[in-house]
Amino acid sequence: MATTTPAPFPFPATYNFPPFFTPQPNTNTRHSQLQKWSSLIQAWCRHHRQYRLSLIEAIDTPLFHNSQLRKRLDLREARAVIDWMAKSESQGGDGRAEWIEAPGNQAPKTVAWIWWRRPEEWADVIADWVEGTGQRGVVLTVYELIQGDASASQEFHGMDNDAMLKALNVLVKRGKAQVFGGEGQEGVKFF
């Protein structure tokens, strides 16, 4: 059986521009820089099918460290970028990240959801799939949605369980689904 290696991540041109790694003092330039970092982080996570980003683990990866330029974001600056991403658009950010403050996190603001699709957008994708495959009225486990053969061709296949539950909760709030069970045994019925 032949195996395929994933294509290398295509870094944008700005990644090879040294000032990209230095916080810019001009407000407009800084805003543009933060938008570019957000786009890069979203694209990186999408390419690698990551929903959570641990800054401690990612800080030494090519995402934040351009070894050819010998430039990097330090942890403080990477955190500042994610802080900006976590702000809503009305607060001056882009709403594409959410800090995960969990008992397992040793230090605050070290792990974040990266929403290359926001939970509302994932909910739309899932709802379209449910409609298109005639799954309304059917009960599925969350595991089936994420790992099942029926969803193998879908972008949400292999999704982080907690990210899936966030998207399903959007459908619950819209009155399009009911989630029941718990602790890894969740089921969902679509209306």
Q: Do 47 and 103 belong to one domain? A: yes
The whole-number average pLDDT for the span 40-65 is: 97
Provide the domain count of the chain. 2
**What b/e readout covers 34-70, taking b as 16+ CB neighbours within 10 angstroms?**
bebbbebbbbbbeeeebbebebeebbeeebbebeeee
The whole-number average pLDDT for the span 177-186 is: 87
7 inside domain: no
> Residues 128, 114, 132, CA angle at the centre, nearest 5°?
10
Residue numbers of the domain that contains 32: 13-114
Q: Do 88 and 148 belong to one domain? A: no
Q: Do 17 and 108 belong to one domain? A: yes
Q: Which residue from 162, 25, 36, 153 is spatially nearest to 100, judged by alpha carbons? A: 162
Q: Do 134 and 149 belong to one domain? A: yes
CA 39 to chain CA centroid, nearest Å: 11
Among 63-67, 137-141, 154-158, 182-186, the range scoring the smallest mean pLDDT is 182-186
Q: Do 101 and 123 belong to one domain? A: no
Q: Do 51 and 127 belong to one domain? A: no
SS3 163: helix
The whole-number average pLDDT for the span 147-154 is: 93
The per-residue pLDDT for range 71-122, each reduced to its tens digit, is 999 999 999 999 999 999 889 899 999 999 866 556 678 999 999 999 999 9
Q: Is the pLDDT of residue 2 over 60?
A: no
6 inside domain: no
Q: Which residue from 68, 14, 17 is spatially nearest to 41, judged by alpha carbons? A: 14
4 inside domain: no
Average pLDDT, the chain: 92
Q: Do 107 and 22 belong to one domain? A: yes
